[in-house]
A and B are shown apart, each in its own frame.
Chain A
Amino acid sequence: MSTLSPVSPNPASGVGALKAPDGGPDLPARRDKPFSRANLVQALAGGYIPLIVATLVVVLPLLWMVLSSFKQPGEIVTTDLKILPQGLNLDNYHTAMTTVPFARFFLNSLIVTTVGSTVKVILAILTAYALVFVRFPFKNVIFVVILVALMVPPQVSILPNYILIAGIGGKNTLWGIILPGLGTAFGTFLLRQHFKTLPASILEAAEIDGAGHWRRLWQVVVPVSLPSIATVALVTVVSEWNDYIWPLIITDRPETMTLPVGLTLLQNSEGNGAGWGILMAGAVLVIIPILLVFAALQRYIVAGLTQGSVTG
């Protein structure tokens, strides 16, 4: 499906082109009086109002989550709605941490995401380099194998993978969470497409200088491909951090649970009305790190995610 992409794979050029021209040269030319009543109404109805509504629909629930995470049970279990919390009260975070081992979940998520993403990115770079720059028979067949893997949803594999991983002692271990997801079709595919666009001349120069494949890979190909590698890395980080179905199945003890699975545990123990503040504190802890990463580096993430539906 990914070959259908209507979006450029290169975040630098692709998303740059998405930017709406803020006050481009053709904009003021049409309007002789920019602040006339008709123009203002038109700008509001045709431009700002839909934009603001769309933004609010997204932002308000998240804002509500953050505000509620600071509220005492008394401020939530009430019939008249209080929008702002009485103060920056961290009790809910404290309760969330003590009811379930939240620090442990956070650390587990961090380890799974870091190790999983690092290995996946390296494997993707190595495989893509081999597919593009190393002579080998049946390279096209191998590429098709990777393309088909891209289309196999991980959800239909959970039962066989559970039996396999549990059988080799991976239940309730961090490596058991990480291992089945390490093979990367998405990263390989994306980097292969990028490597194919690199000019042959830079590699020929390195080859003439006597650089072997290893040096050509790390000293020529990787440095000029950093935006694409960042795209793969960030998409991988996001999907590892959010991954839910597999860690949910392969762990049933708190010591090895990741944050999303731990939140499920918290949900079971705080299922009444007074627990909402605590649950919102938990939701903040799982949502905010990715939101910050997204805010800082969104052009890479958007470019990577809009290329294909599969993000594994």
Chain B
Amino acid sequence: MTRQLTSSPAATAQAVPAPQRRGRWSGRTRRDFFVFLALALPNLALIAVFTYLPLINNMYYSTLDWTLGSTSATVVGLDNYVAFFTSSDAPQVLGTTLVFTVVTVGGSMTLGLLVALALNAKVRGTTFARSAVFAPYVLSGVGVGLVWLFIFDPGYGVLSWLLRGIGQQSPQWINDPQLSLVMVIIVYVWKNLGYCAVVYLAGLQSLPKDVMEAASLDGANGLRRFMSISVPLLSPTTFFLLITTMISSLQAFDLIRIMTPLGNGTSTLIYEAYLQAFGAYNRAGYSAAISVVLFAILLIITVLQLRFVERKVHYS
């Protein structure tokens, strides 16, 4: 952890050439003004049009009764939100989102920490293993989803073969809503735990060695050192991972789309928003309302992160 992303004010002052104090609108200032615009404006305009404008448009669309593709729409105020929260789908969708997020976050963080401990061992081959474990994180969700669908295939998948080996019949993963959620969660954790492992590994390797040695001399065994020293000292890493994995779990789309196209039991908020607008129904206003709900949840998480970051956790 040699350098934080937020550079210190001292570094800033050092790096930026000292502004020359002449007239407020001297030739150089004016030239810089236009240079800045020429360099930064294309990017800023793209961000404004395709990141900020959609947020506003989404809120507007969410007040419309509007079929995608139709040229007419009626303003219905908050009816779409009321319709969503009072529909029979709402508990289902919110429950699925909650289960998917909690289990994938908990699963990839716990397994990620265990893998990080394995990667931190003083043996040969950890560099290769670290790369291998991280690899699924950068692979196409569509490709990964297909590979695992084949593995889970009740007729010809490896898993069904293994289950037959112990005298079991493979369950119908796709047709059962609960099992398809289990399946998607397993694959999601497989794809993402490498990210947690590598971040945890960086945390483990920045732990102060002298504290560990002192505890070791005091007779604390490996488990005791891990629970009493490593875990508390890793709390900033844990908090960082909690937030980042929670945000990405709430946005998980690729695997759900490719493994369970109908969203049978796996319809999270993001997937429901997609299905409502681009699935069979073309309910644009309703879909926008779900997107706004999702955005509100993500916003709350981000704000919580900003509020608690320096206070609640040990942060060196």
Contacts and interface: CB of A to CB of B under 8 A. Distances in A.
Contacts of A226: none
A169 B17 CA distance: 46
B58 interface: yes
B202 interface: yes
A199 B114 CA distance: 40
Given A81-B161, A126-B39, A263-B143, A134 B58 contact: no
Given A8-B3, A134-B32, A156-B58, A290 B139 contact: yes
Provide the main secondary structure of the chain A interface: helix
On chain B, which size bracket covers the interface? 35 or more
B146 A129 contact: no
Nearest to A181: B50
Given A131-B40, A180-B50, A58 B3 contact: no
B201 A248 contact: no
B240 A5 contact: yes
A188 B270 CA distance: 27
Interface in B19-61: 19, 28-29, 32-33, 35-36, 39-40, 42-55, 57-58, 61
B143 A283 contact: yes
Contact of A17 (B53, B122, B155, B205): B205
B119 interface: yes
A276 B123 CA distance: 39
A287 B139 contact: yes
B168 interface: no
A263 B142 contact: yes
Given A135-B29, A156-B58, A6 B244 contact: no
A121 to B, nearest CB: 11
B210 to A, nearest CB: 13
B90 interface: no
Given A18-B201, A20-B120, A123 B42 contact: yes
Main secondary structure of the interface of B (DSSP, over half): helix
A197 B52 contact: no
Given A245-B253, A279-B146, A196 B11 contact: yes
Contact of B245 (A162, A195, A302, A309): A309
Contact of A160 (B53, B144, B243): B53
B198 interface: yes
A238 B139 CA distance: 8
Nearest to A295: B131
A40 B233 CA distance: 31
B79 interface: no
Contacts of A17: 2, 202, 205
A222 B47 CA distance: 23
Interface in A266-304: 267, 273, 276, 279-280, 282-284, 286-287, 290-291, 294-295, 298, 301-302
Interface residues of A, number: 125
Contacts of A134: 32, 35-36, 39
Contacts of A14: 2, 202
Interface in B171-208: 190, 194-195, 197-199, 201-203, 205-206
Contact of A55 (B117, B132, B240): B132
Contacts of B198: 7, 18, 302, 306
Contacts of B288: 159-160
A146 B44 CA distance: 8
Interface stretch (B81-89, B93-101, B223-231, B294-302): B294-302
A200 interface: yes
A155 B147 contact: no
A82 B54 CA distance: 51
A46 interface: yes
A156 B291 contact: yes
Contacts of B129: 51, 54-55
Given A46-B121, A157-B58, A306-B199, A136 B32 contact: yes
Contacts of B55: 152, 156-157
A195 B15 CA distance: 8
A185 B147 CA distance: 32
A290 B249 CA distance: 22
B124 interface: yes
A81 to B, nearest CB: 5
A290 B140 contact: yes
B54 A161 contact: yes
A172 to B, nearest CB: 15
A280 B125 CA distance: 29
Nearest to A126: B39
Closest 9 CB pairs of A and B: A183-B46, A309-B244, A47-B123, A157-B54, A50-B118, A160-B54, A160-B57, A183-B47, A130-B39
Interface of B: 1-7, 11-12, 14-17, 19, 28-29, 32-33, 35-36, 39-40, 42-55, 57-58, 61, 114-115, 117-144, 146-148, 150-151, 153, 155-156, 158, 161, 164, 190, 194-195, 197-199, 201-203, 205-206, 236-237, 239-240, 243-245, 247-248, 250-251, 253-254, 257-258, 270, 273-274, 277-278, 284, 287-288, 291-292, 294-295, 298, 302, 305, 309
Interface of A: 1-10, 13-14, 17-24, 27, 43, 46-48, 50-51, 53-55, 57-59, 61-62, 64-65, 68, 76-79, 81, 123-124, 126-127, 129-136, 142, 145-146, 149, 151-164, 179-185, 188, 193, 195-200, 203-204, 207, 213, 238, 241-242, 244-245, 248-249, 259-260, 263-264, 267, 273, 276, 279-280, 282-284, 286-287, 290-291, 294-295, 298, 301-302, 305-309
5 contacts: A6-B206, A64-B150, A155-B270, A156-B294, A298-B131
